Chain A
Amino acid sequence: MHSESLNTQSTFPARQTGTRPEHPPGIPLAIHDLTVAYHRKPVLWDIELNIPEGKLVGVVGPNGAGKSTLLKACLDLVPLTSGWAHIYGKPYRKNRHRVAYVPQRESVDWDFPVNALDVVAMGSYRRLGWFRRVSKAETERAMDALDQVGIGHLALRQISQLSGGQQQRVFLARALMQDADLYLMDEPFAAVDAATEEAIVDLLRKLSERGKTCLVVHHDLATVTTYFDWLVLINMRVVADGPATETFTRENLQKTYGGKLSLLEKAAEALRSTPH
Chain B
Amino acid sequence: MNWTGFDTWIVIIGALCAAACALPGCFLVLRKMSMMGDAISHAVLPGLAIAFLVTGARASVAMFIGAAIAGVLTALFTQWITRFGNVDRGAAMGIVFTTLFAIGLLLIRQAADHVDLDPGCVLYGALELTPLDTVTLGGIAIPRAALVNGIVLLLNLGIIGLLYKELKLTSFDPDLADTLGYSSQFLHYLLMTMVAVTTVAAFESVGSIIVIAMLIVPPATALLLTHDLLKMLLISVAAAVLAAVCGHIGALIVPGWFGFESTTTSGMIALASGLIFALAWLFGPHEGIVTKWRREAAIVPEPAPITNNSTT
Q: 1/0 contact trace for B92-124 toward A, CB 8 Å?
A: 000000000000000000000000000000000
Set of chain B residues within 8 Å of A122, measured between Cβ atoms? 169, 172-173, 176, 180
How near does chain A come to B205, taking the closest CB pair, in angstroms?
29
Contact of B181 among A109, A119, A126 (CB under 8 A): A126
Set of chain A residues within 8 Å of B163, measured between Cβ atoms? 130-131
Identify which of B32, B179, B231 gathers the most chain A CB atoms within 10 Å of its CB. B179
Contact yes or no, B227 A113, CB < 8 A: yes
Minimal Cβ-Cβ distance residue in B for A96: B181
Minimal Cβ-Cβ distance residue in A for B161: A131
Set of chain B residues within 8 Å of A101, measured between Cβ atoms? 175-176, 179
Whether, in the assembled complex, B223 has its beta carbon less than 8 Å from a beta carbon of chain A, the answer is: yes
Contact yes or no, B162 A77, CB < 8 A: no
Contacts of A72-117 to chain B: CB distance below 8 A: 72, 75-77, 93, 96, 99, 101, 103, 107-109, 112-115
Identify which of A103, A118, A125, A133 gathers the most chain B CB atoms within 10 Å of its CB. A125
Assembly CA distance A118 to B230 (angstroms): 12
Q: 1/0 contact trace for A141-184 toward B, CB 8 Å?
A: 00000000000000000101000000000000010000000000
How near does chain B come to A135, taking the closest CB pair, in angstroms?
12
Set of chain A residues within 8 Å of B189, measured between Cβ atoms? none
Contact yes or no, A77 B223, CB < 8 A: no
- Interface size for A (C-beta < 8 A) is 31
Set of chain A residues within 8 Å of B169, measured between Cβ atoms? 122, 125
With A125-B165, A125-B169: A112-B176 Cβ-Cβ less than 8 Å: no
Whether, in the assembled complex, A6 has its beta carbon less than 8 Å from a beta carbon of chain B, the answer is: no
Assembly CA distance A103 to B178 (angstroms): 12
Q: 1/0 contact trace for B164-185 toward A, CB 8 Å?
A: 0110110111011011111000
How near does chain B come to A88, taking the closest CB pair, in angstroms?
16
Assembly CA distance A109 to B30 (angstroms): 9
With A75-B179, A77-B179, A133-B165: A160-B173 Cβ-Cβ less than 8 Å: no
Contact of B227 among A39, A108, A130, A158 (CB under 8 A): A158
Contact yes or no, A96 B180, CB < 8 A: yes
Assembly CA distance A131 to B167 (angstroms): 11
Contact of B229 among A75, A93, A114 (CB under 8 A): A114
Minimal Cβ-Cβ distance residue in B for A99: B179
How near does chain B come to A126, taking the closest CB pair, in angstroms?
4
Contact yes or no, B162 A131, CB < 8 A: yes
Assembly CA distance A103 to B180 (angstroms): 13
Assembly CA distance A101 to B165 (angstroms): 19
Identify which of B162, B169, B181, B227 gathers the most chain A CB atoms within 10 Å of its CB. B227
Assembly CA distance A274 to B22 (angstroms): 58
Set of chain A residues within 8 Å of B263, measured between Cβ atoms? none
Whether, in the assembled complex, B86 has its beta carbon less than 8 Å from a beta carbon of chain A, the answer is: yes
Minimal Cβ-Cβ distance residue in B for A100: B179
With A103-B173, A112-B171, A113-B229: A134-B178 Cβ-Cβ less than 8 Å: no
Set of chain B residues within 8 Å of A133, measured between Cβ atoms? 165
Contact yes or no, B226 A113, CB < 8 A: yes
Assembly CA distance A75 to B184 (angstroms): 14
What is A's interface to B at a CB cutoff of 8 Å?
39, 72, 75-77, 93, 96, 99, 101, 103, 107-109, 112-115, 118-119, 122, 125-126, 128, 130-134, 158, 160, 174
Can you offer 30 A-B residue contacts whose CB atoms are under 8 A? A77-B178, A93-B181, A96-B179, A99-B179, A103-B173, A103-B176, A107-B173, A108-B173, A112-B30, A112-B171, A112-B172, A112-B229, A113-B30, A113-B227, A113-B228, A113-B232, A118-B229, A122-B172, A122-B173, A122-B176, A125-B165, A125-B169, A125-B182, A128-B165, A130-B182, A131-B163, A132-B165, A133-B165, A134-B165, A174-B176
Nearest 8 CB-CB pairings of A with B: A158-B227, A126-B180, A113-B229, A112-B172, A108-B173, A75-B179, A113-B227, A101-B179
What would 8 more interface pairs be, CB under 8 Å, given A107-B175, A113-B228, A125-B169? A75-B175, A103-B176, A112-B172, A113-B227, A113-B232, A114-B168, A115-B228, A128-B165
